[in-house]
Structure 1
Amino acid sequence: MSPQLLTIEMTRLDAGRVRLRLTGDLDYDTAPELIAAAAELHGDGHQQVMIDLTGVTLCDSSGLSALLVVHRAAGAIRLIGVNVQLQQMLDRTGLSELLSAESASDDDVRAIG
């Protein structure tokens, strides 16, 4: 089975806020793409980042690490569309206390932005 590529769609919401919509696998091979996108956002002065994970089919420890890098670079991130498996990983690692995460239906995510 071939690996699922990661697609990152960026939407600027307003001054200082941006949404990243991820689709595909967030893993060892694709985590650097998210880190690069975060570095670009930091350079543009974005302080609040919403990461829509509704389309993420897999997230491994490298993906969690990338989310932490984005958190540190942006200052504030909000994870939406978190599936059950990812929420369990966040809970087990204690990251749910650090990262604001919520599950959301597709309709909820569309209504946000």
Structure 2
Amino acid sequence: MPAPLLTIEVSRPAPGRARLRLAGELDYDTAPELVEAADRLRRDGCTELEIDLGAITLCDSSGLSALVVIHRNGTGPIRLTGTSDQLQQLLDRTGLAEVLATGHGSSAAADAASGTG
């Protein structure tokens, strides 16, 4: 059986908060999985979402679109962590870095800074 193109690991570090750690490819085929996972968490009462992109190997326009959809559908903030230099550059060039809160660099550093590690 082939490995999934995208894996999503969900944890809930605090009430109303969820962390989604993504690994693999965030593209046309997998973006709907991420949107559905975020929608489920929102229905379960999570208003703040952290999306760790540290293990993403590919992110295309559909992946970026999924992040925008999650942002627009939300009732609270989303924060992107673990963005690679290439992905951060893509977010900067498209203007999405200004719309989506990004913590450029490793999620471990973001955890340490926020005290959630």
TM-score computed with the length of structure 1 as normaliser? 0.89
Q: Which moved more, 1:63-72 or 1:97-106?
A: 97-106
User: What is the number of residues matched between the two proteins?
Assistant: 112
Aligned residue for 2:83, secondary structure, equals: coil
User: Deviation at 1:71?
Assistant: 1.1
How well do the aligned residues superpose, as a CA RMSD in angstroms?
A: 1.9
Higher mean alpha-carbon deviation, 49-58 vs 72-81, is at 72-81
In structure 2, C-alpha distance between the alignment counterparts of 1:90 and 1:47, rounded to whole Å: 23
Runs of 4+ in 1 over 4 A off after TM superposition: none
Point out where structure 2 has 5 or more consecutive residues left out of the alignment. Answer: none
| Distance of 1:100 and 1:81 partners within structure 2 | 12
Shift of 1:107: 3.9
Which consecutive residues of structure 1, in runs of 5 or more, have no partner in the other structure? none
Q: Percent identity?
A: 57
| TM-fit CA distance, 1:15 | 1.1
Q: Hey, what's the Cα distance between the residues in 2 that align with 1:17 and 1:89?
A: 26
**Could you tell me which amino acid in structure 2 is paired with residue 80 of structure 1?**
T
What is the distance in 1 between the residues matched to 2:100 and 2:54?
16
Q: Tell me, what secondary structure is at the counterpart of 1:12?
A: strand
SS in structure 2 of the partner of residue 72 of structure 1: helix
Cα deviation, residue 110, structure 1: 6.3
1:57 equivalent in structure 2 = 57
- How far apart are residue 28 of structure 1 and its match? 0.5
Deviation at 1:4, TM superposition (A): 6.3
Residue aligning to 1:33: 33
